[in-house]
Amino acid sequence: MQHGFAGGYYLTFLLAGFITAAARQARTLIRPFFAPAEGQKPTVWKRVYDIVTIVVSAMTLNYAASPFIIQGAKESVVTWRLLGWYGHIWIFGSLAFFYLGGAKFLRGLQKSKGIAPPSRPRPVQTPSSTSSGKATPVDEKNFTVPPSVDKIVPPLS
């Protein structure tokens, strides 16, 4: 039974949900401060932001995936304890910050600097698009591919 019940799998998947929630908040609320305006070259701060987020992402992925590799729940908790719970601290610390007023503060700061992202349009309710979940509004069906790494982090010159 190679892929049977292993507590480490569940620890990884459970933590991944919280990581996703924290990452979405950070991308929405922090990234606009570093993103260059349309047509402008990335600043040094944008490149520093990119490097820091790459390092944090790699460290978080390694931390969260360790139980998946170890598989045992007890051994995974021991591993996290030996790592000082750093992943839990920054994941749940950032969620606490965002949900306890940090998001509101950062949105206000974005508005004061004129970099607030546009608000999401509400789907128009028609007889075929009810809130029963049977129909997906057209504006939510459009999928855009993210830009390539070369456009996000251009080579240093």
Phi, psi dihedral angles at 30 (to 5 degrees) = -105, -40
Tell me which of 3, 81, 120, 151 is the catalytic residue: 3
Q: Give yes or no for a contact between 9 and 78, defined as CB atoms under 8 angstroms apart.
A: no
Rounded Cα distance, 22 and 93, in Å: 9
Rounded Cα distance, 33 and 36, in Å: 8
Rounded Cα distance, 12 and 141, in Å: 29
Amino acid identity at 30: I
* 35-36-38-41 Cα dihedral, nearest 10 degrees: -140
Tell me whether residue 3 is one of the annotated catalytic residues.
yes
Q: Give yes or no for a contact between 21 and 95, defined as CB atoms under 8 angstroms apart.
A: yes
Half-sphere exposure of 61 (CA within 13 A, CB side): 6
Give me the active site residues, please: 3
